[in-house]
Structure 1
Amino acid sequence: MLSWAEVVADVQANWFLYASMPIVAAAIGYVTKIVAIRMMFQPIKFLGVPPYLGWQGIVPRKAAIMASIACDTMTEHLIKPRDIFMKLDPKRIAREIEAPLLAAIEDITRDVAAHYQPGLWEMAPESVKQLIISRIKAEAPRLVEQIMLDIQNNIDSVFDLKDMVVTNLMRDVELLNRIFLEAGEGEFRFIRNSGIYFGFVIGCVQAVTWAFTQNPWVMPLFGGFTGWFTDWLALKMIFNPKRPTRYLGLFEWQGLFLKRRQVVAAEYGRLIAKEIITPNRIIDAVLRGPLSDRIFGMVQKQVQKLVDEQAGLARPIVVFAVGSRQYQEMKQVIAQKVMARLPEALKSMETYAADAMDIENTLVARMQQLTPEQFEGLLRPAFEQDEWILITVGAALGFLVGEMQVQVMLNFAGVGG
């Protein structure tokens, strides 16, 4: 321990190095935060020699877990499949897809008729063909209405919202990254900048400690402490306390993420509505998802009903002409063709569906009603997964910078010499 006079003399002789200590500490705090944030999201794919020699961003590496947690919060507290589909009017949908559907019906009718009764269909007058097609077209809107009603009444058995969300996030990890980064933009900015302020304060303490001890361990230990403590404290200040709390009677603080819930809710709702729970993705999930066979069953039931109704009194003659087995097969083929043409036909209703579902405003309104604990779950998973690694890396980087700093001071500047 140096005397006060020795300390004063050393500081006067090397004042610029002492002045640099808080600045270097602030830089350590800032750089380690940037590194920590980058390590959360980059690289998308493992870089190095798998499985241990290298790195992959925590969010991409834990994409399945992240997507599942985000989806659980979304489906449990924010939106349900029934909320989405009950806002759709089956009659309006029938009108929206009328043009492409009628074109598809005409093509399907001609193809099926020509396949099962090629001679009879080719010999029939065009007026007869048009009469048959017109009758089926006239009933097509009712077919769509009935299918939509079946979907609405059995929504949980034909649409898996969680599977749709998780599948799309797993398929597009960059989108998963972007959801966390954009929803938590303010929090990540705070983390970066807090390293400067916290690091500067610690650097001041470091300078005083070095002045009195001249111990070469001071720099690396303070550097490591700066990297560790600033990471740890920044993460704590983002999510805690959950409600406004006054400290020392001087200032009030609330976890930044919770304090910004109005802004976060708006951004999160916009991202989810524009990127994940979109009409296009919903239609695709219903028609091609893991429960699509049930949708086909509904379409087949309605198509068979329509074909039987249109056959009417002539049904025995039709059955006799094509055969009972082929008649049933024909109805199934029609259902398959209708199912194949539905995705294209339903594209014309996406604008109406987006307005009717109003997913963005629904999400934002529901988010405002979440408890602080539930709201925290929107972003917290990105930090909870292996956050100890980020803090450890911050400490290690700080330690190394501190060691370089002390070597400069001892070997080049002669501090304490």
Structure 2
Amino acid sequence: MIDEIVADFQRNWHVYASMPVIAALIGYVTKVVAIRMMFRPIEFRGIRPFFGWQGIVPRKAARMAAIACDTMTDRLISAGEVVQRLDPERVAKELQRPLLEAVAEITREIAEEYQPALWESLPPQAQDLVVRRVQAEAPNVVKGILATVQSDVDSVFDLKGMVVENLVKDKELLNRIFLEAGKREFQFIARSGIVFGFAIGLVQMLAWATLKSPWVMPIFGGLTGWFTDWLALKMIFNPREPKRYFGLFTWQGLFLKRRKEVAADYGALIAKEIITPHNVLHAVLRGPLADRLFAVVERQITSAMDRQTRLARPLVAITVGSRRYQQLKHSVAEKVMRRMPDTLAFIEDYAEEAMDIRNTLVQKMQELSPEEFEDLIRPAFQQDEWILITVGAVLGFAVGELQVLLVENLAN
């Protein structure tokens, strides 16, 4: 029996030599395909509902975004931390020039709208005096608005909603969060397929030499695709702490082993693409809680206008009318809100420096437990993980069938 196997190996050595090589190729290709299927295509391609595919992460964008968001906002950073770092005095200073210009325009617009005859009858010096008085009050209004927001930030700023909205809207960005955090792990998965596949191919050689069954190739191909997927995923996340095996080598889950590098990349991406001053300001001004901000602005403006007209309020009431005076204050608040996006753009550089989102995220990530840190990327693998492993097995089986044809042709 052994003599026959040796003789067959000598006659068909090139056939046997091809087995571990092809098995390594199967291992690598099935990993690359599995990884791609996690993220591509962004939108469904094919014939719904069964004939086609959409990447697992973009297909479950809302759930994936919620998971990523929960990790960010529950464990790494809060809305309060984002906004509390803005200094009202510094904000007022940064906005001084655009604020004065906006105030001057709004004052003239309001005067011409509500008392055009009276305003036009005033000499230019008197008009300028009115404008300057309002401008003098503007920094206090800005500081008052910001202080009110900071005292109850959750009432005007939905950080979770902002993060989820941005990630669901931009599925490519959602992909990048997981790809950036796990780039080394995905490389490891693909490359491990070569090593594990080659090792299984050596066993395949012995099975073929002994059994000579055409089922050996597809079965081992399926086994290679399935087992290498499963083992690579295990090696990424387990064990959470360094552990020595067989007294020969030490292993720690690859993702947890390089948490410092992951924290730096993850923090930089989130600070650059998601929790940015522009996105924060847009969420405050245009988000679902914008009405509450308008109420804050209106209160501050009403208070400022009442202070300015305290002595002349009876005259104002007679000239404009009490009801119309209330409408005037509401109109001022609306005009202020309309100009806010352009005006607040001037503080984005300062806000980026003050919020310091990147360093905050990196520091907080270093403080996470291994279980919490694993949650940064694990959800991308857990969602329909069985599909990826099954696909690896099916592809491996199919390639094994092709391998049978190749081996039989080489043998002939």
Q: TM-score interval w.r.t. the shorter chain? A: over 0.9
Given that 2:277 and 2:351 are in contact with CA atoms closer than 8 Å, whether structure 1 keeps it comes out as yes
For 2:304, the equivalent position in structure 1 comes to 306
Unaligned runs of 5+ in 1: none
**Residue in 1 that maps onto 2:283:** 285
Q: Could you tell me how far apart the structure 2 residues matched to 1:190 and 1:346 are?
A: 45
Give secondary structure in 1 for the equivalent of 2:311.
helix
Return the offset for 1:414.
3.3
For 2:363 and 2:211, locate their aligned partners in 1 and report how far apart those are by CA, in whole Å: 58
Counterparts of 1:186-225 in structure 2 under 5 Å? 186-225=184-223
Instruction: Tell me the CA shift for residue 141 of structure 1.
Output: 0.5
Q: How does 1:32-111 map to 2 (within 5 A)?
A: 32-111=30-109
2:268 matched to which residue of 1? Answer: 270
Percentage of identical aligned residues? 61
User: What letter corresponds to residue 103 of structure 1 in structure 2?
Assistant: E
Q: For residues 284-318 of structure 1, give each alpha carbon's deviation from its aligned partner in whole angstroms, at most 9, with x where no partner exists.
A: 11111111111100000000111111112111111
| Aligned-residue offset at 1:118 | 1.1
Which residue of 173, 177, 180 maps to 2:178?
180
Structure 2 residue runs without a partner (length 5+): none
1:151 and 2:142 matched: no
Distance of 1:51 and 1:168 partners within structure 2: 27
Aligned twin of 1:18: 16
| Match among 106, 115, 125 for residue 123 of structure 2 | 125
Q: Following TM superposition, by how much is the alpha carbon of 1:87 offset from its aligned partner in structure 2, in angstroms?
A: 1.2
| C-alpha distance in 2 between matches for 1:132 and 1:318 | 14
Q: In structure 2, what residue type is equivalent to 1:205? A: V
1:414 aligns with 2:411: yes
Report the Cα distance in structure 2 between the residues aligned to 1:402 and 1:11, rounded to whole angstroms: 20
Q: CA deviation at 1:156?
A: 1.4
2:248 corresponding residue in structure 1: 250
**CA-atom RMSD, angstroms?**
0.8
Offset at 1:96? 0.5
Shift of 1:408: 2.1
| Cα distance per residue 1:387-408 (max 9 Å; x no partner) | 1111111100000000111122
Distance (whole Å) between structure 2 residues aligned to residue 14 and residue 400 of structure 1? 23
Q: In the aligned structure 1, how far is the partner of 2:273 from the partner of 2:55?
A: 22
Residue type at the aligned position of 1:22: P
Do residues 138 (structure 1) and 136 (structure 2) align?
A: yes
C-alpha separation between the residues in 2 aligned to 1:324 and 1:146?
A: 25
Separation in 2, partners of 1:113, 1:312: 18
1:384 matches 2:382? yes
Distance 1:50 1:132 in 2: 66
TM-score using structure 1 length: 0.98
Which residue of 2 is the match for residue 168 of structure 1?
166
Q: What letter is aligned with 1:333?
A: S
What residue number does 1:227 align with?
225
Please name the residue that 1:296 is paired with. Answer: 294
Give the Cα separation in 2 of the matches to 1:86 and 1:130.
Answer: 36
Residues 15 and 411 of structure 2 are in contact (CA less than 8 Å); yes or no, is this contact kept in structure 1? no
Give the letter aligned to residue 392 of structure 2: G
**Aligned equivalent of 2:317, options 319, 322, 327:** 319
Specify the SS of the correspondent of 1:313: coil
Q: Check the 8 A contact 2:66/2:164 in 1, yes or no.
A: yes
The runs of at least 4 consecutive aligned structure 1 residues that moved more than 6 Å come to none
1:89-140 Cα offsets, whole Å, 9 max, x none, are: 0010000011111111111111111011111111211111110100000110
Deviation per CA, 1:67-103: give whole Å up to 9, x if none: 0001111111101111111111001000001111111
Query: TM-score by structure 2 length?
Result: 0.99
Aligned to 2:25: 27
SS at match of 1:312: coil
Q: Tell me, what secondary structure is at the counterpart of 1:43?
A: coil
